[in-house]
Amino acid sequence: MKQFWQTHKKWITYLKIALAVFTIAFILYKLLVAYQIDKKFIQFQFNFSFQNSLFLLLAILLLFANWGLETAKWHLLINQFEKISFRNSLKAVLSGVTLSIITPNQIGDFAGRVIHLQTLNKIKGSLITVIGHTAQVLVTAIFGMYALLAFTAKADFYVYIYWKQIAFAFFIMHVFVVIAYIRIDILYNILSRTKFFNKIEKYIIVFKSYSKTQLTKVLLFSIIRYTVFMVQYMLLLQFFGVHIGLVNSFIGVVAVFCIQSVVPSFILLDIGLRGAAAIFVFEELSNFDKSIELGVLLAAYSLWIINMMVPSLLGLVFILKHRFSK
- DSSP character string of 281-310: HHHHHTTS-GGGHHHHHHHHHHHHIIIIIH
Per-residue pLDDT band for 264 (boundaries 50, 70, 90) equals low
Q: Where are the domains of the chain?
A: 2-321
pLDDT of residue 2: 53
pLDDT at 253 over 90: yes
Q: Could you tell me which of 143, 50, 133 has the C-alpha nearest to residue 93? A: 133
For the segment 206-231, the average pLDDT, to the nearest whole number, is 94
Segment 51-59 mean pLDDT: 96
More confident residue, 214 or 193: 214
Which 3 state secondary structure label does DSSP give 253? helix
> How far is the C-alpha of 67 from the C-alpha of 322, rounded, in Å?
20
Over residues 67-71, mean pLDDT:
97
Q: How many residues does the chain have?
A: 326
